[in-house]
Amino acid sequence: MLSKLKQELRKHASIEKAMTYARFFKTGKGEYGEGDEFLGLTVPEQRALARKYAALPLTDIKHLLDSKYHEHRLTGFIILVYKYEKAKENEKQNIIDFYIKNRHRANNWDLIDYVADKLLGKYLMDKDKSLLYELAKSPSLWDRRIAIITTFEFIKSKKFDDTLRIAEMMLHDKHDLIHKAVGWMLREVGKRDQAVEEEFLKKHSKQMPRTMLRYAIERFDKAKRESYLKK
């Protein structure tokens, strides 16, 4: 089954798209995605194949996650999401343990953003969330991104506390990808309850990195955006 999936992934490959993705995901020397290799598949193509091969065992998914090809890894992570959706309660723990153990293979933002909330977020919804706070303090950029993006699942249920606490922890993070992720999650909070977002902004907007603030206030009217940016 694994070899058939790899054949289908290869069949959809595009040299032109692979070159475009390599630039877009910052794979140059010294960039955050340095050295990553692409086949050139779209995300919808990978989703379709992930759904088709959702029965792939974890041992084979491990081979995908260990691949040098970005699309192998993303397809493997998306398969985990589909497996989790269909899993019985006693199987979900194994899937989550596997995800946590192999999370270092999510070494670019899309590998996190398409997965973390739908997998770890769903699992932690009614559980202790101390793992997220450990990840939020990690020296790994990708661990920190997992921490904040996972809370998107809580936001969808109008549970904002963990998002706000982790956002506060990340106010002085040095990486642009964290600034964008935190700003995005604050914006999502605001979509559900703008007063909650603005309470956070009134307290922290002056110390927030500019990118984080711009992402957070993107949906505000022009006058309100300008008011925050002038502070």
pLDDT, tens digit, 9 for 90 and up, residues 146-187: 999 999 999 999 999 999 999 999 999 999 999 999 999 999
Q: How far is CA 132 from CA 53, 114, 117, 120, in A?
A: 29, 17, 12, 9
Of the candidates 68, 75, 74, the one whose C-alpha atom is nearest the C-alpha of residue 4 is 75
Residue 226, token pair as written in the block: 């300008």
Quick one: which of 27, 98, 12 has its CA closest to 63?
98
Residue spans per domain, the chain: 1-114
Tokens 């995005």 map to which residue?
184
- The pLDDT value recorded for residue 90 is 85
pLDDT at 89: 87
CATH topology of domain 1-114: Leucine-rich Repeat Variant (1.25.10)
| Residue pointed to by tokens 């398969």 | 79
pLDDT digits (tens, 9 = 90+) for 121-144: 999 999 999 999 999 999 999 999
**Ranges in the chain, pLDDT < 70:** 231
Q: Give the span between the Cα atoms of 79 and 50, in whole angstroms.
A: 5
pTM flag (> 0.85): yes
Structure token pair of residue 222: 């022009």
CA 4 – CA 209 distance, rounded (Å): 46
- Provide the residue count of the chain: 231
Alpha helices in the chain (DSSP H): 2-11, 15-24, 43-52, 58-65, 70-86, 89-101, 109-113, 116, 122-124, 130-136, 141-150, 152-156, 161-169, 176-192, 194-204, 210-216, 222-230
Cβ-in-10-Å burial (0-12, 13-18, 19+) of 173 comes to: buried
Short-list 157, 139, 155, 137, CA closest to 147: 137
